[in-house]
């Protein structure tokens, strides 16, 4: 088999169909990633509320920053996985091509949600708790998707000398509206439903006490 045929075989092996075993496994991973995103957002809300009530201090800022950076990271990774499922292909390929594809997907998806919100407010079908039309601009910022990826990389994904000079406060002020829209859009489908915690296979089977191995010192 030639190198080219190896590449073709590898590429075709990454394709899957909705409902098959690969799709089922990907859905488990997506569910897990979104629940991590939800946990991070819930923790961020708790620390942010404490900051408002008690006043800011270095410890609270540290905890709030960590929770929000995890929220950014897990939301971005969830979107990468969602795009993978939309394409029905788990092959990542060239990182530059993947980054451009995800950027385009984030932009189009966020704009669709924003447009739908505005239309619902204008035609009177929005929930009673929804913000007024003036809270939502017509277009998402052209810098949103790129900055979303950049901050995901530098405040949570990778250690970088740039982290200490990047203003997560400014990012929050400029883009939280759009991140929250993406989060809320996924919550109804990928969030917890009912009183039973979902079976996430090896994720929810994880245990630090290995059965039949006898007692051992906890690390």
Structure confidence by residue, pLDDT tens digits, 145-197 = 999 999 999 999 899 999 999 999 999 999 999 999 999 999 988 998 878 89
Flag whether 210 is in a domain. no
Q: How many domains would you assign to the chain?
A: 1
pLDDT at 216: 57
Pairwise CA distance, residues 60 & 53, whole Å: 12
Is pLDDT of 8 > 90? no
Flag whether 10 is in a domain: yes
Whether 164 is covered by a domain: the verdict is: yes
User: Would 214 be classed as within a structural domain?
Assistant: no
Domain interval for residue 14 = 3-203
C-alpha pair distances (Å), 61 with each of 50, 54, 100, 168, 175: 10, 12, 33, 11, 19
Residue 213 lies in a domain: no
The predicted model scores a pTM of 0.87
What is the mean pLDDT of the segment spanning 68-73?
Answer: 98
Tell me the percentage of the chain whose pLDDT exceeds 90: 76
For the chain, the C-alpha Rg in angstroms (whole number) is 20
Q: What are phi and psi of 89, to 5 degrees?
A: -155, 120
The whole-number pLDDT of residue 219 equals 61
Mean pLDDT of 68-75: 98
Residue 209 lies in a domain: no
Task: Give the pLDDT score at 5.
Answer: 43
- Label residue 19 by pLDDT band (50, 70, 90): confident
């Amino acid at each position: 088999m030639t190198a080219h045929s190896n590449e073709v075989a590898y590429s075709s092996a990454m394709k899957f169909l909705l409902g098959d075993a690969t799709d089922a496994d990907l859905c488990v991973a997506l569910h897990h990633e979104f629940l991590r995103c939800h946990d991070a957002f819930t923790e961020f809300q708790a620390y942010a509320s404490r900051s408002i009530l008690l006043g800011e201090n270095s410890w609270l800022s540290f905890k709030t920053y960590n929770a929000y950076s995890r929220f950014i990271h897990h939301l971005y990774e969830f979107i990468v996985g969602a795009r993978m499922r939309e394409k029905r292909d788990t092959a990542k390929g060239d990182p530059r091509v993947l980054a451009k594809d995800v950027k385009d997907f984030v932009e189009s998806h966020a704009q669709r949600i924003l447009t739908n919100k505005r239309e619902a407010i204008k035609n009177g079908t929005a929930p009673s708790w929804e913000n007024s039309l003036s809270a939502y601009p017509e277009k998402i910022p052209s810098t949103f998707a790129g900055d979303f990826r950049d901050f995901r990389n530098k405040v949570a994904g990778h250690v970088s000398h740039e982290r200490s000079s990047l203003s997560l406060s400014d990012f929050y002020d400029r883009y939280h509206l759009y991140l929250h829209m993406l989060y809320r859009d996924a919550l109804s489908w990928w969030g917890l439903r009912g009183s039973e915690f979902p079976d996430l296979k090896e994720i929810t089977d994880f245990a630090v006490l290995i059965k039949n191995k006898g007692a051992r010192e906890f690390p």
